[in-house]
Structure 1
Amino acid sequence: MRIISAHHSHFTGIVTLLLGVVVLGLMTAEAEAQLQMNFYSSSCPKGEDIIRGFVEKHIPNAPSLAAALIRMHFHDCFVRGCDGSVLLNSSSSGNQTEKVATPNLTLRGFDFIDRVKAAVEAECPGVVSCADIIALVARDSVVVTGGPTWKVPTGRRDGLVSIASEALNNIPPPTSNFSNLQTLFGNQGLDLKDLVLLSGAHTIGVSHCSSFSNRLYNFTGVGDQDPNLDSEYAANLKANKCKSPNDNTTIVEMDPGSRKTFDLNYYSNVLKRRGLFQSDAALTNNSVTLANIKRLLAGSLENFYAEFALSMEKMGRNNVTTGSAGEIRKHCAVVNS
């Protein structure tokens, strides 16, 4: 009996030891698979400098692209994590990708990303992911136009799957009410403070009339105006910008008079009921988000930048593809053959 017991304890010890080794191995693999600052420092040491240099050369000639590129980063991260899936073209076999989903039909900057990718590929073929390029370009573009900076840890891998319906279901539409925003941001691990901070990117944004014309012309289906939209502002938009409910082409500044400056003015507009989107107005319908807006406006621009930076980094880390999952695409619009 004693011998069996000894064998048993010896066996248990070995199993425990092996389990410990396995767990340690998993923890090590997990640690290696996390994003980290300067991930490419040895595999492509000039990579981030090439990306920044390209942005610094070209964005000053097309500053409105900064807003477009940060929007692309949002739209990428809200579907399957920040994995470059928003860049994939639909296949000839009929698979409809995120790119053709309604929220992404007005995305711009795909050609810019392709050109950055080509510059990096020339230096380090097959090393830097398209997913990391989007994240880095979004940050660098905002910095070049005088906005905040934030940390972009790298090591993301490119996803292999892109489905239009997932973009439609996960990207918050401009017509979102508060509960929809809370749910969709929550699905990304983002809280109400993050919602307010990330909405602040609208300070440099523009929109097509079609994203909010229902608020001007047909809010509840009976030809009415949204009572939550300042009536003077609405009249101005109808007279000078969105002159018809069917206007799909005219572009409107989201932060009139200050759209080239990454500042707190967007929040002032929201409190004056002059946010363009229903989703902007919805931020005033909850005590937590309203208090956060007032807190930001009472603070400094530096404080807003610091908090915005933390929320951007948080969004950029969520649910990413790392380690040996996914791939490093040679061309951002197609998976490797």
Structure 2
Amino acid sequence: MTTTFRAHSAADLLSAIPTMAGYTPRDSIVILPFAGSSSVGLFRFDLPHIGPQQFAASALGIVCRLEEATGMIVVLYADSVDATPNSNPFAPVTEALRLTADACGIEVGDVITVARNGWFSEVDNVVHSHREIGDPPDVGAPKPKASQSSGTRLPRIDADRMRTIRAQVTALEREHGSESPREIVERLGDVHAIFEAAVEAQRGTVEDDAVLLWLVARPSLRDVAMSQWCHGISAGAKTLEFQLDWLDGSPNPPEDLFLMGEGPAPDPDRLRAALRRVRQLAASASGRDRAAPLACAAWLSWALGMSTHAASYAQKALRAQPRHGLAQIVASICANGHLPLWAFPAENRRST
């Protein structure tokens, strides 16, 4: 169901953004694309550490993928910086956004800066008190999180459970670590049932978690799990067939590179369930063993449109295992502002 917000002023819009985003943006640039008078999305970016023109080109490259976008509003959040209309350290960035949008045929309706000392809009150029921004509207949605980074702390796991899972993973690696993916699949019988249980159960048994943790540490089988978590058992089976053929030297290239955000949109409920489970796995693991579930959490977060969470999980994975492939990929695509194709509504999507 689509929730409609009616903003009659800049203050109304600022009060609605946390509910629209699900969090209160901090040290961010938020772009709201519009088709006529209706918003068709919300994109958040970290305050740029690159040149204004480079940032503007990257940001508008994303906005322009929405075919119906005819205008946009820019909101800049700078929590630790004072700014006024006549002394705005972010003016080069907002001006670059305006010029780039104009070159793309997108009208910038307003640029609003929310700074430490207050907020102001280019419409009236008056510094207003933060008190003029009301509470987020109550539309029955969950209460917005404190910031875009909220929610990445791993869950607490019972110490005995954690020790048992770690011991079982160590035993699995000792006894079966030299097996090929094909041998693992043949020995386990039905890996798809194992992966499916991860999205069907709120929490697995100790044995379930140990096996799943051990499996996602193997890239070829992890990709099977991710594909299945996106689109179901048939997709997982297709990916497994490709992976085993590829390892045997006779690849059948997949039609879509789903790990890079191509193809049909995944089922978000399945992604959220899988994210919950891999977060539990990461909390149960230690050292290098944490890298694989954290990398899975990074990709699942990115697939759900939570790039800030994705980048956080990817960095945690790289601290556990500095050269982890999937974590490096997710860190790179987040740093470059790349979004999955399914993040854009099909009816509004501009082909590239």
- Shared fold, TM over 0.5: no
TM-score of the aligned structures, taking structure 2 as reference length: 0.24
